Amino acid sequence: MPPLQPFPIKRLEGGAGGPKYVFYFEDWTRDKKHRTNDLVKHFWDKDWLAQNPAHPFAAHVATLRQREVLLDVIKSKEPTIIIAAGKHLGFLRAGCSAEEEIKFFEQLKRERQGRGLLR
């Protein structure tokens, strides 16, 4: 999927419906096997993304989500602990409850085992 600009998926802050996403890709993948509109349907499909981690569109989605999480952490101005576990990064709010901390580390463990997505 050839991107049309450096950040091919852009989040626009929305109103009551939440954020909206705009996609800037060519209409077809380079091999002409997939239409971009068909792939965009997988944007929210966690199962498809988990089953196709090497697909270029899945990589674009992962990059966007990681960027959004990082920007949200920066904007919050809350002290945050960034934990690297192998290829995975996690963000834990400093001073969180013991319950939140346990939930965080359980999710990080599932992610490292390939059974969950960090949010």
Is the pLDDT confidence value at 61 over 50?
yes
Task: Write the pLDDT tens digit of every residue in 48-60.
Answer: 888 888 887 788 7
Identify the burial level of 25 via C-beta atoms within 10 angstroms of its C-beta, where 0-12 means exposed, 13-18 middle and 19 or more buried: buried
113 vs 63, more confident? 63
Is the pLDDT confidence value at 14 over 70?
no
CA 6 to CA 64: how far, in whole Å?
12
Give me the percent of the chain exceeding a pLDDT of 90: 1
Predicted pLDDT at 119: 40
Decide the pairing of beta strands 88-93 and 20-23. Answer: unpaired
CA 35 to CA 38: how far, in whole Å?
5
